[in-house]
Structure formats: structure tokens, C-alpha cells
Structure 1
Amino acid sequence: MAIPRLRFKEFDGDWEQSSLAKLTNYFKGYAFKSESYKQSGVRIIRVSDLGRARIKYDNDAIYLDESEKSNYEKWLIKKDDIVITTVGSKPHLVDSAVGRPIYLKNDNEGLLNQNLLVLRPIEQKINAYFIYSQLQDQRYLTHIESIQRGNANQSNITVKELQEFKLFNTLEEEQTKIAYFLSSVDDKIAQLTQEYELLSEYKKGMMQQLFSQNLRFKADDGSDFEDWKETTFSQSFNFHMTNSCSREKLSEQGEVMNIHYGDIHTKFSTLFDASKEIVPFLKDKADCLKIKEDQFLQVGDLVIADASEDYKDIGKSIEIVNMENNKVVAGLHTYIARPSQPHALGFCGYMMQTNKVRKQIQILATGISVLGISKTNLGKLIIELPSLDEQAKIANFLSAIDQKIDNVAAQIDQAQVWKKGLLQQMFV
């Protein structure tokens, strides 16, 4: 028995506690064969199709022929279903996390694939969203962390252990009111998330148009800018040494910031501002004393990650746009590429994210399980550079979009923190 700390005033009395197994039924996904996949028909929902809070809609979807739908009706997912991943990464890695719940607000989403399961309330008086909300609480994440097996990249959970999670239960009327309130909070977060996704897609489209030169800026006097000039990376940049310090040699405090290649893959913005990013420091003063003057990063430098297990990350880079009087160096598995001729601040950071440059890097990368890109191969990259004035206009335009994206991301973070606090108080 328990009483929540935050409650609608018209309700009182104790809540009951029960297991997920006693409140819901479940079914597992079906292992559809790849040879059955079609370009259209009834969609097959995979782990990779689950977004942060809903099923993603993109061009990567797979389908089963509509004529076969009746053979697999047992695996059709419905409105108010709760879909949970049974295989994925560790719970703190949100996008592909094992045990992550998704609530379905619509019918006809598709057929459930393997490594997923569906939870449905055992009776009508149990509100599905009330259950789903408890699967977003920290208590649930702690439970998943305790039962997951495997490593950081590939973990799994069993249905039996999942069903042992303890939920709270109360009168149907109170469940409904809580569910309605929390779904409104989730709708607001979903609206912000959609705005974030739309801005990100807009930026991607504008980058494609700008760097393919299908869309050109005009000079301030209204005249056309000169043609872009083709060159190689080695003609525009010089490489400088980095240190070989791994994560074990870094700490949260120190005198010299150290950019780790893994943070370039996952954390840092394209335009790196030392006043905004959380950067670890070199732990050992002896390592700091070994640094040569040209190893300290300068505004305008590119820091390039030379190793990755994934083609999408190999050669990923950031451009240093603000140091704020900090001493910053680049560490293990990185290159420093310093411009050998004037560039508009920010332009090269965006240029390195374009499809044309990324595809070249992926072709030039070597290795099997771990990919690498050498300085020699980076130097072969074919790049096109407009005039300095046009570079500046492109960089300013894209950074303005990035600022809008960052603002929306901050609103999402604030809303999620507020919701987390609500969940902790509304569910005891």
C-alpha cells in the first residue's frame, strides 16, 4: 500500500502495488524472413523503426505483401498497445535501448517483428497509458538495468524478468485522469520533437542545395559571386600533431581540455564552442607539459576523428569557433587540420558534413571491424571553395538554423526534466 506525494485533490486512499504480469498480457514479435520483404503493403515494425516516443516514418521501412496480412493477424499491433524492445543497447543509450517502451496512439501501424513484444492490459478498467507512464519512471529504468544481460552494444532481457516489475494501481477514474494529464505533457514534448526533426531536415536540405550550388547567395551589392574553385584538402589544410591520451588519462577537472574522438562521434556540435561544450581535462600534469605549442588548438582548426566502428562516424569532424581563453588539445585517434589559407569561420565545419565529402571519406577509409582514415587519404579529398564572402554567408545562414535547433533541444530537455520530476512524485 502507498500514497503518491502529488495527487489530484478529489482522490484519496492507498494505492495497491502489483506486478506487470498481473496487470498485462503480452505477445512476442514474429521472425519475418527477409525474402518476404516488399516495397509496399503492410509494414513490418522492427526495433530500428522505434523513435524516441513513436514509430518513425521514413524511407527505410520494410513491408509484407498485403495479401499475406490475414496469415499474421496475431502480430498486428493496435491503438493503445505498449511496444517494448527485448534486445538493444544498454538502457542509458536512449535511441536503441533495451526495454524501451513506445505507446501506440494509432491503429494500423503494422506487424510486430522479432526482438519486440507488446503489452496489453488484462481488463478494460486498467488504463494502458497509466501503465505506460510508469514504464517511463526511473524505477522502471533501474529494473531494466538490473535484468539486462550482455554488453553495452547488445543487451537483452527476458519476458519473465520484465514482468516482475512492480506497478501501482488505483481506481479507474484516477488512472484516467493521470493518464490524460501525462499524455498532454507527452504531446507537448512530441510537438517540440517534431519541430526539432523538421528543423534538422530543413538544415539537411539547405546544406544539400547550398553545397551543390543549386542555391547561391548574392553579394551585398546584388551581384553574383565568383565561381567556386576546386582544390584538394591537402592544398587547403596542414596537419598538426595530437596527443595519444585515452579516456583513462582524462578527468573532470584540470588545466588543459582534451577532445576525445568518441565525443566527436556522439556529443560535440559541428561548430565547437569551448564555452558551451562539456570537455574532459588531461589528468596528469606530466602529459600537459609534453604538449608542444602547435598542438594547442586554434580558432578555425578542424579536429577529425580518424577511427570508428561505423562508416557514418569515420572521419567525422568539428571546427573550433571559440576557445574562450581555454587551452584545448586533441587526443587519441584525432587529427588537427589547420587552414593554410583564409577561410570564413564555420564554413569548413559545415563543408566536412556534406554528402560529397562524407562519401569520399567513407570510400577512402580502410579496415574491417575498426575503420581508419589516414592523413594521406584525407589529403586526397576533393573540395570546392567559394569566395570568402560567400563562405561567410553560408556559415552564418547554417549557424542560425543550428541556433534554432539548439533552442528547441533545450526546450525538450527542460520538458523532460519537468516530466521526470512529475513521475517521481505521482507514482510514489
Structure 2
Amino acid sequence: MPLQKNCRRFWWSWGMSEWHQLTFGDIALFKKGINYKSEDYADSQYGYPFITIKCFIKGGGYQPKGIKFYDGFATASDYLNEGDLLFAVTDLTRAGDIVGSPLCVPEFGTNKRALASMDCMRIDPFLNLCDKKFLYQKMMLSDVRRQMVAYSAGSTVLHLDIKKVPYIKISIPISIAVQQKIASILTSIDTAIEKTEALIEKYQQIKSGLVHDLFTRGVLPNGQLRPTREQAPELYQETKIGWIPREWQITLCSKVCEKIIDCKNRTPPIEPDGHPVIRTPNVRDGKFVDRDLVYTDAESYRIWTARGAPVPGDIVITREAPVGEVCIIPDRHPEACLGQRMMLYRPDNQYIDSIYFLYALQSKQIQTRLDLISGGSTVGHVRVGDIRDLWMILPDSIDEQRKIGDFLQGADKKLEKERSFLEKLELKKLGLMQDLLTGKVPVTVSEIANQEEAHA
């Protein structure tokens, strides 16, 4: 909320600003990255951080998973500084998702300066014409990237014709102070986004550790985890699924469910509206995803629910592409049917708590079992009987099951809160980019302008 108030204050305090249209060649110099061979790669101890095409995020930004280390030839002008601006001159496919995307060189925390591969180009704006941080934000706009894609070609992947880069058109404020103010606002949102992403990653790691502990040690009546097996081996038993508490058992899903329903062998006819059809794209990471939800007519719904109609609270599971994704049918879809490659569990609450059952299906032990029976392939599949008689970890105490479910729901609520906040930040950033980087909201920085006049 403070961020939003600050942005509103800026909008009201700014007046009109002037923009001019130039070309990249007018505002900057360029240098392509290093041509390299695979034998130039080294380990992190001996090599220099080497930015590759896989370091670019679609649309703009840096991701560390693409970083390599380079120990080949480089000239003094090849080395990068923190904050230098690069853009991709190659794509990973012909889709044009990466080509033209910018990134700012991060601080690598070493005394070795980074280098860039030949799939990157450095752009050094003239300081009296264009602020580097503003240019980074501007290059993320679709109008600039469309020109990059238009100047790219290739049969399998796109390659930007770098001779045409200087002719790419770009509109910028005449005032460097205005550019810097715009960049400052957008950078502050980027910082908030990065912090939120880091918090989400932290919570995901905490949840992963919690899942491991809860499904190997369980919860005592006082709400604490049991001592580890090393601390109290007498509390545990070895089973075909691994070590579990002595009060637990390994059973089958068919023995703890009131009903298990398979879909028909195809998806029903699709209509613009009607009854929701639950398909594999609607089940991801333990959640029901409304995006890409399709519908069918009343008669098809009747036919496709002849074996049993799904109801809110039932748990659906995918049998293919991918195997083992699960979620609970939400209350907002009271009359849905199953699409192809879907099955449904209706837990018997005498034996197993529904929330516990959902999380147990996502546990490493059960997912490993599914991976084994599906053949371990990303496009593998499991049979109806495999889902029906899938192993299940079952604490004898319903109260313990509920405590485990409560712990994991609490972790998920924290994650959902941060993900929702992240989504709002990203939407805010998109809106501000369209307003501030196009001149739609004209700006000047009157205080800075007055200072400039005083020093003239």
C-alpha cells in the first residue's frame, strides 16, 4: 500500500514532459558478446561468470540458472560491470520469446568480472541522452521487442540481424531527470517483486521440509513432531514405502475411499458454457486452475456422470500428461464432470481425512510410487487399476491426520498470500510501464528542473 500511495503522489506532482523519437543508433553504442567453444567452459573456481542466452527471462530480466563459467580468450573491453545492460540477439526457438529481451548484469559476489556470450549484445547509452536504467525498462515494452523480432530470422531458432539494431526506433523523454524518475519508480516495484519472489522461494523450501517431516515422523497429540528415528528407533517401523511411525500403516486408496470414479475414455463435447469439464490442465500443484476450463452441455454431462457425479470436496487425479497431479474440486464448481485421463477419489471420512489425503497424495513417497508405475517418463501414464490400488500412508488417528493437514494448509496459505501479492505487483508494474514509458502520463520533475535552472 505505501508503494501505491507514493506512485499516486508522483502522478499528481508531475506536469507535462516532452519526448522525442530517436533510433538506437542515436542513443547508444553496441558490443556483441564473445564467440566461444565448449572447451572454453570452466568450473566456478577458475572461470569467469559467463552470461548465456538461458540467463534471460522472457520479456526481460535475469535468471541465474543459465550462468556458465568461461576460461577462454577475452579482451579488456569484453568484461562487464554490475549494472551493464545486455539484450538477447538469439532465441531458444522461433517463437521470439527471448530475442530482444534485456537484462541488467547482476553483482556476482566475486572479484571476477562477468563476460557475455555471443548470444548477447551490450548496449551502452550516451549518458547525456538516455539513462541506462530507463532504457532497461523501455526495452521490456512490446513495441521495442516487436522491432527486434521483426529483424530476426531463422529456420529453427531466431537470430537478430545485429546490423539493423541501430535503426530500431525508440521514443524517450528529452529530460534525463524525467527518465531517471520513471526508472526509479519502476525499479522500486522490481525490487518489491524480487523480495516477494525470494519470500515465496523461502516458504516453498519450508513447506518441502515440513512435508518430509510430517510424512515420516507425524505429529504427537501435543502438536509436536515425533523424535527422529535416530533419537527414538522404537517409535518407527520399516515398510515397503520406507520408515514410518509404528501407529501408522500402509494401505490402498481403494480401502479408504467411498468411491473411485474413472472418466469415460474421451472428453465430452465442448460448448461455450454449461457444465465445467475437469481436464489435466485444470489440476496443478495441488490447486484447481480455472484457466483453460471448458464446458459441456447438459446431456453430455448426464452421460459423462453416469458412473458418478463429482461433487465439491472430491479429489481428482491425473493419469497422464502429467501423472499424479491432484486437487480438491472447489465449491464454485458443484456440477462438473471428468475429462479424459482423469479419475476421482471420494475419501471415506471414517478412515481418512480429505485434506490429509490430498497432501499424502502429493508426498514424496506416493509421488515416487506413481513415477515408478508410470515408467518415469514425463509423458507416462498409469492404468485405472494403478490409481484405484495406489498405496496410501495412513495414520490410525484421524486427529493426527487433521493436525498434519492443518500444518500444511497453514504453509499453503502463506504461499498463496505472497503469490497473490506478487500477482498484484506484476499487474501494477505492467500498468505503470504502459503509462510512464510511452508518455501516456506526461511527466516532468519540477524540483529537479528548478535545480537545473539554478545551476545554469
TM-score where L is the length of structure 2: 0.72
Q: What is the alpha-carbon root mean square deviation over aligned residues?
A: 3.9
Which digits, 9 at most, give the CA deviation of each residue in 1:300-331, with x for residues without a partner?
A: 433222222xxxxx313223153246212221
Which digits, 9 at most, give the CA deviation of each residue in 1:23-53, with x for residues without a partner?
A: 3414246555279453644344444445687
Which secondary structure does the structure 1 equivalent of 2:82 belong to? coil
Structure 2 equivalent of residue 189 of structure 1: 193
Structure 2 CA distance for partners of 1:149 and 1:353, relative to 1, 3 Å? farther
Q: Is 2:212 the counterpart of 1:199?
A: no
Structure 2 equivalent of residue 81 of structure 1: 84
Can you give the 5+ residue segments of structure 1 that lack an aligned partner in the other structure? Answer: 1-5, 309-313
- Which of 365, 385, 406 in structure 2 is aligned with 1:356? 365
- Which of 131, 155, 158 in structure 2 is aligned with 1:156? 158
Alignment of 1:96-175 (within 5 A): 99-106=100-107, 110-113=114-117, 116-125=119-128, 126-140=130-144, 143=147, 156-160=158-162, 165-169=168-172, 170-175=174-179
Can you give the 5+ residue segments of structure 2 that lack an aligned partner in the other structure? Answer: 1-9, 227-244, 440-456
Query: What CA distance in whole angstroms lies between the structure 1 residues aligned with 2:13 and 2:223?
Result: 65
- Which of 326, 334, 337 in structure 1 is aligned with 2:345? 337
Structure 2 CA distance for partners of 1:358 and 1:418, relative to 1, 3 Å? same
Q: 1:231·1:382 contact (CA, 8 Å) conserved in 2?
A: yes
Query: What CA distance in whole angstroms lies between the structure 1 residues aligned with 2:202 and 2:409?
Result: 16
Which secondary structure does the structure 2 equivalent of 1:130 belong to? helix
Which digits, 9 at most, give the CA deviation of each residue in 1:69-127, with x for residues without a partner?
A: 664876654322334443246879xxx7554433234255744346x413322433332
Structure 2 CA distance for partners of 1:356 and 1:255, relative to 1, 3 Å? same
Structure 2 equivalent of residue 326 of structure 1: 334
Structure 1 equivalent of residue 236 of structure 2: none
What is the CA distance between 1:130 and its match in structure 2?
A: 0.7
Q: 2:252·2:390 contact (CA, 8 Å) conserved in 1?
A: yes
Which secondary structure does the structure 2 equivalent of 1:290 belong to? helix
Query: What CA distance in whole angstroms lies between the structure 2 residues aligned with 1:31 and 1:418?
Result: 40
Which secondary structure does the structure 2 equivalent of 1:322 belong to? coil
Q: 2:285·2:326 contact (CA, 8 Å) conserved in 1?
A: yes
How many residue pairs get aligned? The number is 398
What is the CA distance between 1:133 and its match in structure 2?
A: 0.9
Query: What CA distance in whole angstroms lies between the structure 2 residues aligned with 1:145 and 1:333?
Result: 38
Q: 2:304·2:338 contact (CA, 8 Å) conserved in 1?
A: no
- Which of 289, 294, 305 in structure 1 is aligned with 2:302? 289
Structure 2 equivalent of residue 218 of structure 1: 220
Structure 2 CA distance for partners of 1:135 and 1:55, relative to 1, 3 Å? closer
Structure 2 CA distance for partners of 1:7 and 1:219, relative to 1, 3 Å? closer
Q: 2:275·2:298 contact (CA, 8 Å) conserved in 1?
A: no
Which digits, 9 at most, give the CA deviation of each residue in 1:395-415, with x for residues without a partner?
A: 111111211211111112212
- Shifted more, 35-44 versus 392-401: the winner is 35-44
Structure 2 equivalent of residue 242 of structure 1: 263
Q: Is 2:59 the counterpart of 1:38?
A: no
Identical pairs, percent: 15
Q: Is 2:444 the counterpart of 1:423?
A: no
Q: 1:232·1:381 contact (CA, 8 Å) conserved in 2?
A: yes
Q: Is 2:307 the counterpart of 1:307?
A: no
> Letter of the aligned partner of 1:415 in structure 2?
L
Q: 1:365·1:371 contact (CA, 8 Å) conserved in 2?
A: yes
Structure 2 equivalent of residue 3 of structure 1: none
> Letter of the aligned partner of 2:81 in structure 1?
K
Query: What CA distance in whole angstroms lies between the structure 2 residues aligned with 1:73 and 1:379?
Result: 64
> Letter of the aligned partner of 1:372 in structure 2?
H
